[in-house]
Amino acid sequence: MTPDLHHAVEDLLRAAGQRYTPKRRDLVEILRKVGRPAATQDLVEGRRGMPQSSVYRNLAVLEQAGAVRRVITEEGVGRYELAEDLTTHHHHLVCRSCGAVVDVTIPARLERTVERTLAAAAAAADFEGAVHRVDLIGTCRDCRDVTA
């Protein structure tokens, strides 16, 4: 499915002097199916059963090629998602209890305003190539129910 995605990733990898191997294709496919940041552990334990060394190594390659992005959450575990170039610019809702992540988008108009303001702030602090990260930390329904 979505051959465009895989073509795009292949191009990215090739540009980085890397091959688009079956393992890498598997990872990309899983991330596409999941549709939101997936924990590294989930990828290791996925039905495909990929060795963790391969998961970590290939995610690093894909990240360097700009195909995936590492998402930082409150939990101690790493999560990865497809790069925004391959999907759409978005933000995250992170559950502070279970670490679950949901993608959200905000109005383009506000997005632009934020973008412009933050770019100015970055320039003032002499930071280069800054991208913004807007996340929401809260408690998801499931975790709320458990506590209650």
Partner DNA sequence: TGGGAAATAGGAATCGTTCTCATTCTCGGA
Partner DNA sequence: TCCGAGAATGAGAACGATTCCTATTTCCCA
From the list a second copy, DNA, none, which binds 97 (C-beta under 5 to 8 Å, kind-based)? none
The piece of 4-12, 20-28, 97-105, 132-140 that touches DNA (CB under 7 A) is: 20-28
What is the distance of C-alpha 134 from the center of its chain? Answer: 13
* Cβ proximity of 82 and 67 under 8 Å: yes
From the list a second copy, DNA, none, which binds 130 (C-beta under 5 to 8 Å, kind-based)? a second copy
Helix (H, G, I), strand (E, B) or coil at 118: helix
Nearer to DNA, 60 or 114 (CB): 60
Q: For every residue of 18-53, which 3-state class applies, written as one string? A: CCCCHHHHHHHHHHHHHCCCEEHHHHHHCCCCCCHH
x/- track of binding to DNA for residues 38-77 (CB under 7 A): --xx--------xxxxx-xxx-xx--------------xx
Cα dihedral sign, 28-51-44-70: negative
Q: Using CB under 7 A as the criterion, which residues of the chain lie in contact with DNA when the complex forms?
A: 18-19, 21-24, 40-41, 50-54, 56-58, 60-61, 76-78
